[in-house]
Structure formats: C-alpha cells, structure tokens
Homo-oligomer: A and B are copies of this chain.
Amino acid sequence: MNNRPIGIFDSGIGGLTVFKEVSRMLPDEDIVYLGDTARVPYGIRSPETVMRYSFECADFLLKQNIKLLVVACNTASAISLQEIQRNVSIPVIGVIEPGARAAVRSTANKKIGVIGTEATIRSSAYLKAIKLLDESIEAIGLPCPLFVPLVEEGWTDGMIAKMIVERYLKNLKDTSVDTIVLGCTHYPLLKDVIQDVMGDVRLIDSAVETAKVVKDTLKSQKARANRQGRQKFYVTDSPEKFVNVGERFLQNKIENIEKIQLEAR
C-alpha cells in the first residue's frame, strides 16, 4: 500500500484525457497534474527544447513526492521518456508504448495508421515502437496539425470538423489500414468524427491504454492507495483558459488549481 500521489504532466490541456482515464480506473489514488501551459504546444518545438521542458516538468512533480510519473504528452514521450527513465528511480510511463502495444494487438491485416502532431510523427516514435513489437507490421504516420486548435475551440463535430478530418485522413483511407492510433492526447475528443470518416477501422485511444498500464504497474508493485483519491492541478500560465477548456475534456469540474513557475535546470 502506498498513498503517495501519481504525477501526470503534459504540455497543456491534452493530458487531461489521460488524467480522466487514470482517475476513472483508479478512484482511490491521489493525482497531481501539471500542465506547462506557458510553453504549450511542445509539438512545434525542437527536440532539445522539448527535452529541457520535460525535465523541468518531471523535476517539479518529483518534488511533490510522487510514486509514479506519467508523461501524458506524445511529443514529450517521443523525445524524452527514455532519458527521464534513466534519471529517476520511480516508474515512468509514457503514452506511446501503451498505444503501440494495443494497436499491434488490434491489427489483423498488419497495417496500422498513426496520427499526431508534426513533432510526434517526425520523431517516428510510434513507428519504432510498433516495429519493435512486430517488425512485419507496416505502420504509416500522418501529422494533422489543425486537430489540436480545432479541439481547443470546441468544434469537435459539424461540417468543419468533418472536412478537416477528411482532408487529413484521405491519404490513410487509400492504404487499407485496419487500425489507427490516436497519437495525440487531444484526439480522443475527435473520435466520433474520425470514426465516421474512416468507417470500419479500429481506433486506439492512447489515454485508455496508458491508464491500464498505470493500474497494472501499481498493482504489480503493490503500491495502490486505499482511500478516496484527491486531485491537484498545477499550470504555468493563468488557470482561466485551462479550466474552461479542461472541464470540456474531463466532463467534470476542475478545482484545486494553482499557477507555478518552473525553474530552469
């Protein structure tokens, strides 16, 4: 038994889809969430900048005495996960490996599509993770830069969402992939439109898969908490927008939120 909190960080709001699944599957756990909203989005930044920001986020959460760290940002997971794992003593879980593993289990025709931000796709992190699990699988990466602003604007249904999804995914439609990984934490909010446009394709939600790994890890380490979990949010810019948009992500109130400044390492 271990009542120390789980730490989750993301470049901003997107990681709340992971937060939501973790808190749903593990209602007994305290969770501390950090959104680096002053420097969002990581997806357009260089690898060295993403690495530096990731370590600053991890350092802050480690000071909150967490027992497990979730890097709930695809860009940060792609670029900095291994380096963080090498440098800290608690378990560190990213969003890429769980998504890749679920996609490999799901595909029948061994063709997987991966959609995400420019940085995530350019890193080839999902493609590498999938090949590592089964190198006979063909994986195709596709960046969809407008999906994040579309979700943050709340335009997740209707004609504009459909046309943008169609325009990005038309190339995937021709490839006969039978499984698509939503390789960005914002994308679960577009799940219905994507399913509608892509038809008979299995969508993998990395947030759900990551939460499962968190649960299994705590269980195997006998580190589960046993009381009603509490939630705490930290952001690096004004909480106002985070609360407004974030409550749409969580379909729940965001309380107990505080603005902090991250220290450069």
Please measure, in the bound complex, the distance between the C-alpha atom of A155 and the C-alpha atom of B264, giving whole angstroms: 37
How far apart sit A239 and B75, CA to CA, in the bound complex (Å)?
A: 18
Of the listed stretches A39-47, A96-104, A182-190, A213-221, name the one at the interface; the rest are far from the partner chain.
Answer: A39-47
Other-chain residue from B44, B150, B264 in contact with A146 (beta carbon distance below 8 A): B150
Is A128 engaged at the interface, CB distance under 8 Å to the other chain?
A: no
A231 to chain B, nearest CB (A): 23
| Contact residues of A between 18 and 77, Cβ < 8 Å to B | 37-40, 44-46, 49
**For residues 122 through 154 of chain A, which have their beta carbon under 8 Å from a beta carbon of chain B?**
145-146, 148-150, 152-153
A241–B37 Cα gap in the complex (Å)? 21
A146 neighbours in B (Cβ, 8 Å): 146, 149-150, 153, 155
Interface size range on A against B: 20 to 34
Contact partners of A1 in chain B: CB under 8 A: none
**Set of chain B residues within 8 Å of A49, measured between Cβ atoms:** 38, 237-238
Instruction: Choose one: B39, B152, B159; the contact of A163 (CB below 8 Å).
Output: B159
B164 touches A160 (CB 8 A): yes
**Shortest Cβ gap from A233 to chain B (Å):** 16
Given contacts A38-B49, A49-B38, A146-B149, contact A44 B241 (CB under 8 A): yes
How far is it, in angstroms, between the C-alpha of A164 and the C-alpha of B146 when the chains are bound?
Answer: 12
Taking the complex as formed, is A86 at the interface, i.e. its CB lies under 8 A from any CB of chain B? no
CB within 8 Å of B: which A187-207 residues = none
Which of chain B's residues has its CB closest to A261's CB?
Answer: B49
Min CB distance, A78 to chain B, in Å? 15
Q: Does A167 contact B (CB under 8 A)?
A: yes
For this complex, 18 residue pairs linking A to B, each with C-beta atoms less than 8 Å apart, are: A38-B39, A38-B45, A39-B39, A40-B44, A44-B241, A45-B238, A46-B237, A118-B241, A145-B152, A146-B146, A146-B153, A146-B155, A148-B149, A160-B160, A160-B163, A160-B164, A160-B167, A264-B264
